[in-house]
Structure formats: C-alpha cells, structure tokens
Amino acid sequence: MRDLQAAPGTPLNGAPSGPPGRPRRVGLLLAVAAFVLVADIVSKAIVVARMPDHPPIRLLGGLLTITYTRNGGAAFSIGTSMTIVFTAIALGVIVYILRAARNLRSIGWAITLGLLLGGATGNLIDRIFRAPGAFQGHVIDWIELPHWPVFNLADSAIVCAGVLVVLLALLGIRLDGTRGVQGDSDKPAAPVGR
C-alpha cells in the first residue's frame, strides 16, 4: 500500500500540478483579455457612431489617421470571401487558449495569451454580429498609419501577442513557468524566476 502512495505535492489523479509554489495565472490572462475586449468594443462603437459621415481625422501630422472601414477578410483585407473560415479559426484559437490556461503559471504567457484571447474575441464578435450577416460580418477597422493597412485595437493586441510568443519561445519559457534546458531534452526543466 505504501508503494502506491503519491509523492508529496502530487495530485491523486496523476495530473501534473506545475512547479511547486507557482500560482496559476488564469486571472491575469482573463483580466488582460477583458481589458483588450472592452477597449476594442468601445473604440469600435465610437467609430461606428461618429465616423461614417465624417472625413478621416489626421493626427500627429498625418502619422496617425482615424478612419472608418469594414473588412470582410483577414489582416490586410486578405481573403474577403472566406469570412466563415476566419470565424472558425478565431473560435479554434479561443478554445485552445482556454484549454491551455489549465497549465498556465507564467506571467509572460498569461499576458500573451490574454492579448490573443481579447483580440480574437473582439474580431469574432464583429464576425458574428455585424453586417452582412451572422458569422459573415465585417470587422470594423479604424487606425491608419502611413503605408500600412487600416486595423483596430484587436488586431494590435494579436500582433503584440505574436511578438511575445516569439520572445517567450526564444527564451525557452513554457506555459508552466519553467524554462527548457537547451540541448538536453532528457533533463528536467529549470524553474524561471517570478
């Protein structure tokens, strides 16, 4: 009977609990996602209410222009006839993030996945509820920079998340907050400082 007892700190169901002493970061992920989502929804609502009959507003000597466009495609208006596909991809990303959150103990990954979740959800809401129809709606874009396609806050959050994914991967930081040991996959991962 003693041989069957789990090691101290190991869950009885056999599932890994992550590095000892590292709290889960799901709350941080959800807070970042909520902030991005609210900022995206509010900014789009203001643009839809004020900009349809208004000429573009140039700010900072033309470095930033506030304008109003509707995008049926992905980034840079690619694939405008594939709105349903982009809706399905966004749903898949959201489901993946929520599943991955079970093992989330890294602050960096919590912020990264929160940005991605908020951005994907913001654009998904447009796809579901905006014209021309359910799950085929066009995303509201309103931020324009010189020589760059028009985008929105959700797009910005997704791009920032992409940059952070690359940085975290280069640093070898895992979702559970440990750092992979390069060159030897048989050794256990080294913990990362908080």
Supply the residues annotated as catalytic: 141, 155
- Indicate the burial class of 142 (C-beta count within 10 angstroms; 0-12, 13-18, 19 or more): buried
Q: How far apart are the first and last CA of the chain?
A: 38
Token pair recorded at residue 78: 């690619």
Pairing assessment for the beta strands 178-179 and 139-144 based on DSSP bridges: unpaired
Q: Determine the residue type at 83.
A: T
CA atoms within 13 A on the CB side of 84: 2
CA distances from 170 to 79, 111, 114, 179 (A): 31, 17, 19, 10
Token pair recorded at residue 143: 């931020």
